[in-house]
Structure 1
Amino acid sequence: MMELNLTRKDYLQVGVTSPRTMKLLPEKKSKIQQKIAVADQTGVLQCFGLKKGEIVPLFKTLPTHKITRLELGGVLGSQPDKIFVATGSEVKGYTKKGKQFLGFDTNLTESIKTMWVCGSHLFLGGSYIFNHYIDCKDENYYLCSDRINDVSCLPMPRVTEVTPVLACQDRVLRVIEKSNLLYELEVSGPPQTLCVYANDGGEDGEEMLYGTADGKVGLVQLNRTSPSHRWEIPNEKRNGGILCMDNYDITSDGVVDLLIGRDDGILEVYGYDEADEPVLRFTQTLSESVSSVQGGVVASAGYDEIIACTYAGWIQGLTTEPQHKEAGPGDSVKVSEESNNKITALKQELEEMQQKVLQEREKYHYAAMNTKAISAVPQFNINDRFSLNKDDASYTLSIEVQIAIDNVLLQSDVPIDLLDVDKNSAVVSYSACDSENGNFLLATYRCQANTTRLELKVRSIEGQYGTLQAYITPRLQPKTCQVRQYQIKPLSLHQRTHILDDTRQMNELKLTGQFSLAEIHSWVSFCLPEIPERTPPGDTINFHFLSTFLDTQLDCFYKQGEGTFRSDNISTISILKDVLTKEATKRKINLNISYELKDDSIPLTLQRIHPKLEYQLLLAKKVQLIDALKELEIHEGNLDFMSPEYRQILEDADKLQTEYKKQPCHLERLYGMITDLFIDKFKFKGSNVKTKVPQLLEVLDNYELQNLVDFFATGGL
């Protein structure tokens, strides 16, 4: 594997208004890309040049509405040297000298979220609506059933027809032909960003890269008849989601590499082996989420660089150019006069900025203490995400602010577990809660100095639903706080899927009544995550779900006046029945409820729980033995008398304790799910078996699968 050595280079900070988008403008007369176009949330487009390593502002537009997308375009087949920005429902075009040549008001009902420019073709995506324009004339239109996260197009003119691709929140890539859906292709996670493979679509111009919210990157081939998956990079280290990608040969081996930016600040470079499989070449961790990344020759001719734009507005670079000469013993490093002048100028600029900050602080303090002062609360933007992880059935809550975070207070009115996160350096403290009044969690995370991003993990209990609140306090004067709310849904550990196993024994719940399609859709959206807020088009709606904790499945099919829900887990049906009935009662709608239960589904559900339960019981047993084994080791001094099993437990003691600590209450949750399954089975049959729960717990303490199955069959009699 080729070793890639990159050194860090900080260019500039362009402010603290986020989010940021950034593009490199190619120079036709030179191999050096010397211009960087940056857009921010205040609607300002700025262009910077690099001359001998110095940042030179070239032009800056006046503030308008928030810029949501920045793309480069130009004549098809030539270098893209025009800047296009999307703001609200308008698209503006600028030359690289800052002259506006386009002001196109699309009159769309949704704000533009995503954009792709290719020659005279303009592809725009709102939250659910996709539009295709040619020479600013409306050509095609498509209404998507779920939220659009990104828009791209297979490279023209390599493909015979214009082929837009939509990355949608429901884990699907949708390929559009004119105003119709050509086909859908499911991917492993919600795709957040798209990128044409190797900038040309590969051998046939049909290959597209996607990056998902759960941190996976994949390559698909999108031909006209049979799309296929080529490869996918798993997220084994559970890094952040993919926010941006680019193709550039940073390793100088003649093969374009893949540059990846993640929302936890990790920047990665992947090369390709002889079989065209991705291989990790380089990784760098930045302090903020990477909102844009590109490769090019930027500051020094002959040296490739990676330019990244982060959430707080920093433009940072990684360069292959040696930044210093290594000195040998007795040698002294000579600094050129040019470098010395740069250092002196930077020191002077830093001193001037410090003086300016002191003056502004004094000015603000004087104004605040004045009797005629008007109180003003400092405003700050928050970039937050609350998403379900399939791998460990937990939710990741990431909170990012442009300025340092002082503390974050978490409060929940439902029982949840806080899980350990390795990359979290904040100190957590818990406060006493009054659970009888609906307060189940009070935890405060105190952040270290200069921490701008905090990542937490929580695990909920299905059937118990409510709100998790985060009170975010930055290091600002005067002290101010913002509150973010995150809904914990009744079936919060279920994840959207597009595959249903019809061979399983499925229990069925059927509802009928005088309700509209929009009403029942809102009820289902209240119960389950990853459901679009807007009612999808059509007279009927069908969603499939998979439990990330138990691998059981749920099928939801509903229309006006009727809803059918099928699952191989009776507890899922029970939760849906209770919550949907409650929601209908709030709206004074009478429901007719019928259900069909399959007793054969119970042993199959217990078999799905079996591996997890057996593993957790064994883990708990091993952890309980560690202290006793260590005491024996101290007294005896020799471990030869121990069995290989016990010696292995001692060798893996730290690993076992760490794993057990990371999953608090995991075994109790499995016990709880089995108990709920037992109670729900007999509740549907009209029996109350809560008095049998102590017997069930005795069976679990002396666990054997067949004994548990027999106990469920007899009801503990």
Structure 2
Amino acid sequence: MLDDQEINLECRDVTSVSSSAPRCLAVFPSGKKKAKQRLAIGEKKGIVSVFSLNRKMERTVAFQTPRQRRPISCLTLYADQVFFVYGSVLEAYSKKGKSFFSFDTNVTEEIHSVFVATPFIITCGSFMVTAFRESKELGFYMSPDRINAMVAFVATSSLRRSELDFEDYRCIIGCNDRVIRMLRGHKPLEEISCEAPISAMYMSEGQRVVYFGTDAGSLGCLDLQRSDFTVTRTLSYIPSNRQSAVTALAVYDINGDKAEELLVGRQDGSVQVYCIKQSGDKGEAKPICIWSRSVDERILTIVAGLITNAQRPDVLVHSFSGKITAFRVEEMEQGAEEDAEALGAGQEGEERQAEDVQEEIDELKRLIEEKKQQLATRAGATKDKAPILAVSSTFTAKLALSQQTDSPALLLVVESDTILSCVTLQSEVELHFLETPGTDVIMQESNSCSGMRTRTIAILHPTGLQRCSCSVRFWVKDGQPGALKLTLLSAPVPRTAQVKVVALKVLPLFARVGGDNVDSAETPTHSTLQVEGSFTARDMHSWLYTLLQGTPELYQPNLVELHYDNVFLHSALVVTYGDGKATFSTDSLVALAIIKRAISSCASERSLTVGCSMHVHSDAIRYELERLAPHIASHNKASRNARILEALQELRSDHNEDTGIFSEEHQRLLDDPEEVAKQHAQVMHMSGYLRNYLLHLYETAVDLVPRMPKMTPTVREALLGLCGCGDVASVMVDLERIFGCSGIHKTAEELPAPNA
């Protein structure tokens, strides 16, 4: 058995397949004899391969299914049988490679998860969970928001029964609206609100718990043993440092301590092993990360087992480009001779591996040359130096635009299953780029001209080791909807390109939260906007979808109240709507003014008449300034410390490293320059957004508050100068003086607005 601190995993590239979807890799159960386990992998080409690995890390194929017209969307095992889905068809193969079951589910959306416990089958798509008894449909459940993950299991009280009905099964789905729902049959039993949209789930049969991960990088655990009708959250792990979204989960006893470890794969390619420890008097579970590594691209699936060695377990990860990587447990040997032998064996192994890789490269070059000649012949370009034209793009690419907690920046991630030469980005709104590791950004500003709406043009060059993905961080002004158009250019010959488009929300920093996450005891100074007109609830829902992140894609008649939170300034927003009427309540005047303009614009496009009336709370501006002041002061402090540290380092060099002349506060800065630089980098990207927000808030106050002085060059200069010096108290005094908060209390009132 390995101690927690002694775990060491050796990285080995296993194989590579055509890019596939999450949950398309599975490990067969081990037999009676302790031998290496087989793998099943579903590919984009519509093929499922079952194979094991020999000593040379080469695939020994047990069987391979015929190629289908549609890619494999998900795969699972029932005992030693393989069940997989392509399109709407579910098919099953025995361990000997014989097809014994196939039927068309008639599900119209793509199936991303499947559970099999014969004779029952449960499939899960973007919004629907559908159950079957063999090929007969039993019913379905329609989720109020997008389903990102699903697990199914037998209820605890039914485990000892020999014959099971469908009512003995439970299904848990993780949704985009930050809610986990447990289903019995086709009806929800319980809902649990979480801190972020659920992105991955895994069922541990041994412990009878369900682990889940979120888009915010947090982890949680649900206990299933206490009741068949409710679940209890026993673990809540929110990392202190910002981590990428969780994309894959699994459990396995990696270090041989007779307890399962939690295996986590993330969007940025991080692979982590967590040991679950019980701490505190109440026995609360706490995950401790005992090992971490990165493969530099999104993890689609993570599994574990005796795969490359019959004695030591492996952690196997399937990444976005199709590469499968194994991390094998290695025990530290004692003694110098044993170390030398291990080192020599390792060097010989590396040399053999390098030779094998070189042979593969030579073979691939030969195949590429053959394909080039075939393509040139078909295109009629057989002459020397004639251009070769690609007729289609064959690589797979994916875009993800996400918010960052406690930051005004948005993160755009571009992923591909092939090496990218560059990515061209065109935006209809002005983007303010921030430094992002692994990507070089060459930017060119472009004003609207000749009918073009392009405001920003940039070229992104991936600089990471894999170069199959790149990411960029930027912030945009609130209230400016638009679209990002990205052209992805692949590096391999023949060079092909793909065009992708992602939409920017009108209020990009607001994210939907569950109603249970709102603290009812706190009563902030909310202002309200009443909208009335000839619109339907479905119309209003479609407008909200363009306004706010996390709004359900499908309109639900029973969902009439939505809650949102600003991920940076933490402004709350509550929306209540129905036919002909909607109410927006928030503590952000900027958001309220933007919503009013956006709703009026949407109604005008459809020739609908709406009327808006706004009630501004008497203390609304002061409350918003109190929320801004700490961010401004934090920025000022970090900038001040960085300037002081630079001066102190010069003084120390002049006094020959004599530190006795410095005060205790200055000495702390000198002792930890990395922390000073880290804090400075974290807040510097806020400065542009904070300055813009202050100007926007003042302009909004001028529009909403009677007798508010208009913006002048002096006022503008004073607002911009606040992001430079001052603590919270002094910043707040200056803000109140500039905004004239004393006069605002007397004049704020309900202000009707003209019709759109």
TM-score, reference length from structure 2: 0.85
Structure 1 position 500 matched with structure 2 position 518: yes
- 1:384 and 1:224 mapped to 2: Cα distance? 39
1:175 to 179, 182, 187: 182
Question: 1:76-225 residue pairs with structure 2 within 5 A?
Answer: 80-156=79-155, 161-197=168-204, 199-200=205-206, 202=207, 205=208, 207-222=209-224, 223-224=227-228
Question: 1:396-411 residue pairs with structure 2 within 5 A?
Answer: 396-411=411-426
> Does the C-alpha gap of structure 1 residues 141 and 537 become closer, same or farther in structure 2, counting only changes over 3 Å?
farther
In the TM superposition, what whole-angstrom CA distance separates every residue of 1:662-689 from its partner, at most 9, and x where no partner exists? 5545224223323322332341245563
Structure 1 position 427 matched with structure 2 position 429: no
SS for the counterpart of 2:169 is coil
- 1:433 and 1:193 mapped to 2: Cα distance? 40
How much does 1:623 deviate? Answer: 3.3
Structure 1 position 455 matched with structure 2 position 471: yes
- 1:330 and 1:570 mapped to 2: Cα distance? 70
Q: Which runs of 5+ in 2 are unaligned?
A: 160-167, 280-284, 748-756
How much does 1:504 deviate? Answer: 1.9
Structure 2 counterpart of 1:355: 366
- 1:268 and 1:509 mapped to 2: Cα distance? 46
How much does 1:626 deviate? Answer: 4.5
In the TM superposition, what whole-angstrom CA distance separates every residue of 1:540-578 from its partner, at most 9, and x where no partner exists? 521100111111100011111111111011111111001
For 1:412, give the aligned amino acid.
S
For 1:360, give the aligned amino acid.
K
- 1:213 and 1:320 mapped to 2: Cα distance? 29
Structure 1 counterpart of 2:577: 558
In the TM superposition, what whole-angstrom CA distance separates every residue of 1:266-300 from its partner, at most 9, and x where no partner exists? 21111223544322121221143221111111233
Structure 1 position 412 matched with structure 2 position 411: no
In the TM superposition, what whole-angstrom CA distance separates every residue of 1:672-709 from its partner, at most 9, and x where no partner exists? 32332233234124556333573365376364314423
- 1:57 and 1:492 mapped to 2: Cα distance? 49
- 2:250 and 2:53 mapped to 1: Cα distance? 21
**Is the 8 Å Cα contact of residues 304 and 321 (structure 1) preserved in structure 2?**
no
**Is the 8 Å Cα contact of residues 155 and 196 (structure 1) preserved in structure 2?**
no
TM-align CA RMSD? 3.3
> Does the C-alpha gap of structure 1 residues 653 and 340 become closer, same or farther in structure 2, counting only changes over 3 Å?
closer
**Is the 8 Å Cα contact of residues 18 and 312 (structure 1) preserved in structure 2?**
no
> Does the C-alpha gap of structure 1 residues 143 and 645 become closer, same or farther in structure 2, counting only changes over 3 Å?
same
In the TM superposition, what whole-angstrom CA distance separates every residue of 1:191-215 from its partner, at most 9, and x where no partner exists? 1221113x23x3xx3x211011222
In the TM superposition, what whole-angstrom CA distance separates every residue of 1:334-393 from its partner, at most 9, and x where no partner exists? 799999999987776664444333333444445552389875244321022111122424
Structure 2 counterpart of 1:76: none
**Is the 8 Å Cα contact of residues 177 and 197 (structure 2) preserved in structure 1?**
yes
For 1:420, give the aligned amino acid.
E
- 1:97 and 1:24 mapped to 2: Cα distance? 16
How much does 1:233 deviate? Answer: 2.8
- 1:615 and 1:670 mapped to 2: Cα distance? 12
1:260 to 260, 264, 269: 264
- 2:592 and 2:375 mapped to 1: Cα distance? 59
Structure 1 position 312 matched with structure 2 position 312: no
In the TM superposition, what whole-angstrom CA distance separates every residue of 1:122-181 from its partner, at most 9, and x where no partner exists? 221222111222333333421111001111124455557322111101111011122222
Question: 1:586-625 residue pairs with structure 2 within 5 A?
Answer: 586-625=605-644
1:234 to 228, 235, 238: 238
Greater mean deviation of Cα atoms: 466-475 or 504-513: 466-475
SS for the counterpart of 1:396 is strand
Greater mean deviation of Cα atoms: 102-111 or 618-627: 618-627
**Is the 8 Å Cα contact of residues 120 and 134 (structure 2) preserved in structure 1?**
yes
Greater mean deviation of Cα atoms: 637-646 or 488-497: 637-646
**Is the 8 Å Cα contact of residues 175 and 184 (structure 1) preserved in structure 2?**
yes
In the TM superposition, what whole-angstrom CA distance separates every residue of 1:243-264 from its partner, at most 9, and x where no partner exists? 2111111110110111112222
Structure 1 counterpart of 2:490: 474
- 1:121 and 1:679 mapped to 2: Cα distance? 61
TM-score, reference length from structure 1: 0.89
- 1:334 and 1:658 mapped to 2: Cα distance? 42
For 2:534, give the aligned amino acid.
Q
- 1:403 and 1:652 mapped to 2: Cα distance? 41
In the TM superposition, what whole-angstrom CA distance separates every residue of 1:611-645 from its partner, at most 9, and x where no partner exists? 11211122233334454444444545555444433
> Does the C-alpha gap of structure 1 residues 346 and 552 become closer, same or farther in structure 2, counting only changes over 3 Å?
closer
Structure 2 counterpart of 1:279: 288
Question: 1:650-669 residue pairs with structure 2 within 5 A?
Answer: 650-653=670-673, 655-669=675-689
- 2:328 and 2:71 mapped to 1: Cα distance? 31
SS for the counterpart of 2:629 is helix
> Does the C-alpha gap of structure 1 residues 11 and 585 become closer, same or farther in structure 2, counting only changes over 3 Å?
same
- 2:156 and 2:439 mapped to 1: Cα distance? 52
1:24 to 3, 22, 27: 27
- 2:458 and 2:312 mapped to 1: Cα distance? 49
For 1:48, give the aligned amino acid.
F
SS for the counterpart of 2:518 is coil
1:713 to 724, 741, 744: 741
Structure 1 counterpart of 2:555: 535
Structure 2 counterpart of 1:704: 731
Structure 1 position 294 matched with structure 2 position 309: no
Q: Which runs of 5+ in 1 are unaligned?
A: 74-79
SS for the counterpart of 2:44 is coil
**Is the 8 Å Cα contact of residues 412 and 442 (structure 1) preserved in structure 2?**
yes
- 1:384 and 1:334 mapped to 2: Cα distance? 43
> Does the C-alpha gap of structure 1 residues 343 and 614 become closer, same or farther in structure 2, counting only changes over 3 Å?
closer
**Is the 8 Å Cα contact of residues 37 and 305 (structure 2) preserved in structure 1?**
no
In the TM superposition, what whole-angstrom CA distance separates every residue of 1:71-117 from its partner, at most 9, and x where no partner exists? 111xxxxxx21111122222111112221121122222323222222
Greater mean deviation of Cα atoms: 477-486 or 683-692: 683-692
**Is the 8 Å Cα contact of residues 300 and 319 (structure 2) preserved in structure 1?**
yes
> Does the C-alpha gap of structure 1 residues 480 and 334 become closer, same or farther in structure 2, counting only changes over 3 Å?
closer
SS for the counterpart of 1:273 is strand
Question: 1:507-518 residue pairs with structure 2 within 5 A?
Answer: 507-518=527-538
- 1:337 and 1:379 mapped to 2: Cα distance? 38
Greater mean deviation of Cα atoms: 255-264 or 283-292: 283-292
- 1:575 and 1:127 mapped to 2: Cα distance? 31
1:684 to 704, 725, 728: 704
- 2:640 and 2:687 mapped to 1: Cα distance? 11
Structure 2 counterpart of 1:524: 544
> Does the C-alpha gap of structure 1 residues 687 and 523 become closer, same or farther in structure 2, counting only changes over 3 Å?
farther
> Does the C-alpha gap of structure 1 residues 685 and 356 become closer, same or farther in structure 2, counting only changes over 3 Å?
closer
**Is the 8 Å Cα contact of residues 514 and 590 (structure 1) preserved in structure 2?**
yes
**Is the 8 Å Cα contact of residues 562 and 574 (structure 2) preserved in structure 1?**
yes
Structure 1 counterpart of 2:754: none
For 1:590, give the aligned amino acid.
T
In the TM superposition, what whole-angstrom CA distance separates every residue of 1:59-78 from its partner, at most 9, and x where no partner exists? 222223122110111xxxxx
> Does the C-alpha gap of structure 1 residues 465 and 338 become closer, same or farther in structure 2, counting only changes over 3 Å?
closer
How much does 1:396 deviate? Answer: 1.7
> Does the C-alpha gap of structure 1 residues 326 and 403 become closer, same or farther in structure 2, counting only changes over 3 Å?
farther
**Is the 8 Å Cα contact of residues 434 and 685 (structure 2) preserved in structure 1?**
no
Greater mean deviation of Cα atoms: 608-617 or 114-123: 114-123
Greater mean deviation of Cα atoms: 444-453 or 306-315: 444-453
SS for the counterpart of 2:561 is strand
For 1:96, give the aligned amino acid.
K
Greater mean deviation of Cα atoms: 232-241 or 161-170: 232-241
Percent of residue pairs identical = 22
